[in-house]
Amino acid sequence: MIHRFVSFSVCTLFLFSACATQKVLLAPPSDQIEEIEGYASLRVTTHQKTARSRVSFLFLLPSKGRIEVFDPLGKVHYQLFIVHGEAYFVIPAKKVYWKGQEEKILEKLFGFYLSLSDVVGLMSGYWPSSGQEKPREGMASWVFLKNRKGWIQSGQSGEFTFKVQEFFGQTQWVQEVVFFHPQTEGRLKILDVNFNQPVPEEAFVTSFTQRYSQKTWEEIREILSNAR
């Protein structure tokens, strides 16, 4: 569940958030988004428990992603790497990681699965082929509703739904979005975002696997439970 991923970062990064600014690129970056990076605040409620966290994100479509959750001092608390269908959930302080297929790990952590392109769509408001339906393997087709300006205001795929609460100024770019699933509901607010920037080669390097111990999901879950 997602609370296992974020419940340990409640009230994190308040020092960082004091200097976080909303620096969104207002003009469309190109015909498509190939890369998106920035910071966001995340509030998640699951099983009547609410957690808040600050995260950094970097996605390089179609198959690479990195999410980092920070502790109150600005140090990385947890990391999630996605590289060509494989995912790694990393706890740097414990020097351990959990490796598995992207879909399996995301379902364990979040309670549901969205592809990287869907995550980018949720965070940006840009959905390729954003007609009434966008077929995707493993989940029901997306159904979108648009506002009077033609911007996507909400969407649904299977049991997962979202609704844009706020856009950046007079643009289609998402600033705040709420999402719902039978097991989870949350609110994501973009604090700082940029598109289609050069990505350093080391951004998705998983060399930590040579220094850290690999654990099973059950072992990772026990570590997270003891960290409460």
User: Has residue 139 got a pLDDT over 80?
Assistant: no
C-alpha dihedral, 169 to 175 to 178 to 183, nearest 10°: 170
SS3 44: strand
The total number of residues shown for the chain amounts to 228
Percentage with pLDDT > 70 across the chain: 80
DSSP 162-174: EEEEEESTTSS-E
User: Has residue 170 got a pLDDT over 50?
Assistant: yes
Greater confidence (27 vs 82) lies with 82
The C-alpha atoms of residue 134 and residue 124 are separated, in whole angstroms, by: 17
Answer left, alpha or beta for residue 122, where phi above 0 means left and psi between -120 and 50 means alpha: alpha
Superfamily of domain 2-226: Lipoprotein localisation LolA/LolB/LppX (2.50.20.10)
